[in-house]
């Protein structure tokens, strides 16, 4: 007890066996002697570190009152008890999303419906919208706006000659009517809300065989406005893509919430110290801490990295390149792909609007938001995270349209920040306070070289879950591991993850959903399905409730042991009802 010697492993083992068979919360009722042991801080600290195999350098959760409470939290509040299976979909369920109030949630499926569910004690189906009449192949993503009055639904649209692109639909939650539809290309841009009435979509324009231009549009949800003086659409950004890459998976982070995070992940409170040196590109392919510590010498984002030609203009550089090719001075000879990429880089050099000021110097009270998306520069598989600042005047469709506010020579927008993942990105999610970005990726082999953008490197079966601090633009945790995926590059699909105040959850291709603790970086639960788990979703108001969606066509509802006990306690007891009936009969 107290500050006594370490407990022998045999004693701890007996405690483990005891805890496996007896409810921790009722232990104090078993005997008075155990109640004293249950409040022994030294014992529970020792038990905690050994049971969960956590390094002793990791401090206790900042909100915890005692080690006993922490053991109780991780034992009793994890949503790992299946309480309901929803089987109304008749094909693979791809995505889940809660309303901000937690009263509703939506599900998307290969059966081409989006279903709205009422989140009560027993979850029930409230509405189902079939999108096949609009030539959709399936629904893939949904998101409620900030006041839960509108639902954005993203799907795959089958156009002429069976060409598939994306489309976004906006549905009113008041009467479930379809308000508007917006084209979205490629379809895995998904789309997202910028504010209550404006959403972001994408378009893709081919420039060459492996060169293209992604345009991100701001759309008014109410497209039926009939006025020549009111814009319903406005171009936000126009970004060049090299080596067959495209912009996908857009989301918006609210920067004004960074200084009041729900949970700080830096154990040593280093987030309070501002760094004087910044680096716009962080390469996760290196395991060398010394190499990571060195400041990068390229202040521009990766999409703008070009060799210094001594101040030569881009037009002169192009002419020089063509002269060298014609006279045979280019050695070794360039392939058609290499030539296209080189010409595109030279063309964009003087035709790109410069990036905004340093993101790290931004006022913490700013109303600025970040547009976050996956992109790349080496191959078509998404291997970078691009970040672009959205300024307040850009958050409405009013004002100049079609880029009239830019100079004629500023044909493209540059990225404000790029994070290199060194692997295939298959999922992203924001913490509830928008401070941290969680990224699912499948790593490339170390030191791999990409010579053909149409032949990306093989990807690992293990899924790495990276964590980035969007205030410092640094990775703050070692990658979480447990979940796996098996599909190759060309068949790789998105696996949605979700983050609550204390937990992070993700699907996987190994027929399980997974839950980790955000503070301790440990896997806490595996949630079984009969097929691939595509999506997970925590209730935004009750993190002890989790949903999982699978290719097995079901949505499973998981609650914590504590929530299950509370729920069962609320149900009427048949014995009491029978006793009351008998007493009434006697009287």
CA gap 139, 144 in Å, rounded: 15
Rounded Cα distance, 4 and 50, in Å: 17
Can you tell me the distance from the alpha carbon of 237 to that of 105, in angstroms, rounded to the nearest whole number? 31
Helix (H, G, I), strand (E, B) or coil at 98: strand
Position 295 scores a pLDDT of 37
Closest CA to 103 of 135, 50, 151, 70: 151
pLDDT of residue 230 exceeding 90: no
Q: Is the pLDDT of residue 24 over 50?
A: no
Average pLDDT rounded to a whole number, residues 179-202: 95
Q: Per-residue pLDDT averaged across 29-37, rounded?
A: 50
**For residue range 504-546, what is the model confidence (pLDDT) as tens digits?**
999 999 999 999 999 999 999 999 999 999 999 999 999 999 9
Q: Give the separation between CA 551 and CA 577, rounded to whole angstroms.
A: 43
Question: Is 0.85 surpassed by the pTM of this model?
Answer: no
With a cut of 50, say whether residue 301 has pLDDT above it. no
Section 14-20 average pLDDT: 53
What confidence score (pLDDT) does residue 568 get? 86
Residue 258 pLDDT > 80: no
The predicted pLDDT at position 57 comes to 87
pLDDT at 274: 33
Query: Pick the residue with more confidence: 7 or 33?
Result: 33
> Which residue ranges form the domains of the chain, and what is each CATH number?
9-77 (no CATH), 81-264+366-569 (2.130.10.10)
**Confidence at residue 279, expressed as pLDDT on a 0 to 100 scale:** 33
Closest of 239, 152, 171 to residue 204, by C-alpha: 239
- pLDDT > 70 in the chain, percent: 70
d(CA 506, CA 442): 14
Q: Residue 508: what pLDDT?
A: 94
- The mean pLDDT of the chain is 80
Under the banding of pLDDT at 50, 70 and 90, the label for residue 281 is very low
Query: Could you tell me how many helices (H) and strands (E) the chain has, helices first?
Result: 10, 31
Q: What is the pLDDT of residues 109-156, one digit of tens each?
A: 999 999 999 999 889 999 999 999 999 999 999 999 999 999 999 999
Q: Which of 14-18's residues contact partners 24+ apart within 8 Å by CB, and which partners?
A: 15/47, 16/51
Note the pLDDT of residue 275: 37
> Is residue 265 within a helix (H) or strand (E), and if so which, with residue range?
none
Residues 6+ apart with CB under 8 A from 151: 106, 114, 116, 142, 143, 144, 145, 170, 171, 173
Specify the pLDDT at position 582: 54
Residue 440 has pLDDT above 70, yes or no: yes
Largest Cα span, the chain: 113
Does residue 179 contact residue 150 with C-beta atoms inside 8 Å? yes
Answer yes or no: is pLDDT of 249 > 80. Answer: yes
Q: What is the pLDDT of residues 360-413, one digit of tens each?
A: 655 555 678 999 999 999 999 999 999 999 988 888 877 655 444 555 556 789
Instruction: Enumerate the H helices of 106-170 as residue ranges.
Output: none
pLDDT on residue 194: 96
The alpha helices in 87-154, defined as continuous H runs, are none
Structure tokens at 28: 């104090």
The pLDDT, as a whole number, for residue 358 is 64
The DSSP code sequence of 367-380 is --EEEEEEE-SSSS
pLDDT band at residue 6 using 50, 70 and 90 as cut-offs: very low
Is it the case that residue 438 has pLDDT exceeding 90?
Answer: yes
Residue 474 phi, psi dihedral angles, 5° rounding: -125, 155
| CA distance linking residue 176 with residue 173, whole number of Å | 5
Name the DSSP letter for residue 101.
T
For residues 164-184, average pLDDT: 94
DSSP letter at 287 equals: -
Task: Return all residues near 169 (Cβ < 8 A) that are at least 6 apart.
Answer: 131, 134, 152, 153, 154, 155, 178, 180, 181, 182
Share of the chain above pLDDT 90, in %: 50
Average pLDDT over residues 37-55: 81
β-sheet with 104-109: strand ranges across: 93-98, 104-109, 113-118, 124-130
- Residues 9-37, mean pLDDT to the nearest whole number: 50
State yes or no: pLDDT of 69 exceeds 80. yes
Low-confidence winner among 1-15, 135-149, 270-284, 356-370 (lowest mean pLDDT):
270-284
From residue 232, how far is each of 197, 200, 228, 265, 335 by CA, in Å? Answer: 11, 12, 10, 41, 44
Average of per-residue pLDDT across 435-463: 92
Mean pLDDT of all residues in 441-460: 91
pLDDT tens track for 310-364: 444 555 555 565 556 555 665 556 676 766 676 666 666 666 777 766 666 555 5
pLDDT beyond 50 at 287: no
Q: What is the pLDDT of residue 284?
A: 42
């Amino acid at each position: 007890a107290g500050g006594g010697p370490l407990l022998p492993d045999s004693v701890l083992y007996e405690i483990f066996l005891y805890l496996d068979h007896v409810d921790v919360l009722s232990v104090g009722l078993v005997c008075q002697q155990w109640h004293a042991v249950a409040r022994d801080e030294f014992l529970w600290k020792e038990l905690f570190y050994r049971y969960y195999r956590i390094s002793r350098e990791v401090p206790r959760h900042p909100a915890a009152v005692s080690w006993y409470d922490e053991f109780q939290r991780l034992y009793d509040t994890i949503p790992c008890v299946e309480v309901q299976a929803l089987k109304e979909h008749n094909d693979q369920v791809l995505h889940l999303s809660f309303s901000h109030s937690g009263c509703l949630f939506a599900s998307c499926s290969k059966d081409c419906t989006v279903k709205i569910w009422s989140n009560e004690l027993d979850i029930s189906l409230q509405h189902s919208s079939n999108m096949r009449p609009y030539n959709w192949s399936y629904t893939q993503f949904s998101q409620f706006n900030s006041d839960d009055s509108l639902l954005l639904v993203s799907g795959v649209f089958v156009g002429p000659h069976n060409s598939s692109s994306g489309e976004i639909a906006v549905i009113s939650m008041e009467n479930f009517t379809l308000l508007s539809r917006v084209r979205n290309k490629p379809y895995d841009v998904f789309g997202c809300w910028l504010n209550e009435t404006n959403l972001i979509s994408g378009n893709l324009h081919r420039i060459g065989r492996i060169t293209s231009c992604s345009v991100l549009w701001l759309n008014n949800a109410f497209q039926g406005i009939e006025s020549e003086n009111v814009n319903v659409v406005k171009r936000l950004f126009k970004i060049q893509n090299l080596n067959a890459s495209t912009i996908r998976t857009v989301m918006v982070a609210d920067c004004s919430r960074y200084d009041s995070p729900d949970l700080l992940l830096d154990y040593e409170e280093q987030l309070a110290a501002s760094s004087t040196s910044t680096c716009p590109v962080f390469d996760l392919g290196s395991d060398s801490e010394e190499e990571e510590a060195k400041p990068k010498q390229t202040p521009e984002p990766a999409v703008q990295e070009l060799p210094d030609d001594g101040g030569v203009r881009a037009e002169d550089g192009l002419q020089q390149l063509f002269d060298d090719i014609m006279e045979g001075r280019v050695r070794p000879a360039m392939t058609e792909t290499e030539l296209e990429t080189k010409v595109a880089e030279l063309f964009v050099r003087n035709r790109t609007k410069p990036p905004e000021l340093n993101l790290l110097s931004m006022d913490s009270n700013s109303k600025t938001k970040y547009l976050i998306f996956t992109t790349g520069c080496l191959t078509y598989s998404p291997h970078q995270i691009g970040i672009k600042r959205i300024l307040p005047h850009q958050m409405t469709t009013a004002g100049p349209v079609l880029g009239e506010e830019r100079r004629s020579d500023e044909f493209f927008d540059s990225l404000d920040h790029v994070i290199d993942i060194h692997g295939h990105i298959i999922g992203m999610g924001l913490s509830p306070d928008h401070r941290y970005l969680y990224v699912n990726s499948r790593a490339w082999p170390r030191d791999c070289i990409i010579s053909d953008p149409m032949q990306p490197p093989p990807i690992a079966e293990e899924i790495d879950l990276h964590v980035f601090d969007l205030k410092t633009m640094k990775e703050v945790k070692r990658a979480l591991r447990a979940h796996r995926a098996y599909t190759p590059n060309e068949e790789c699909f998105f696996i949605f993850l979700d983050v609550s105040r204390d937990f992070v959850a993700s699907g996987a291709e190994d027929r399980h959903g997974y839950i980790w603790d955000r503070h301790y970086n440990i896997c806490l639960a595996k949630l079984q399905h009969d097929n691939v788990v595509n999506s997970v979703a925590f209730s935004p108001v009750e993190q002890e409730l989790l949903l999982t969606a699978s290719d097995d066509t079901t949505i499973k509802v998981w609650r914590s042991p504590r929530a299950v006990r509370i729920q069962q306690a609320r149900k009427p007891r048949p014995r009491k009802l029978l006793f009351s009936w008998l007493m009434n009969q006697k009287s």
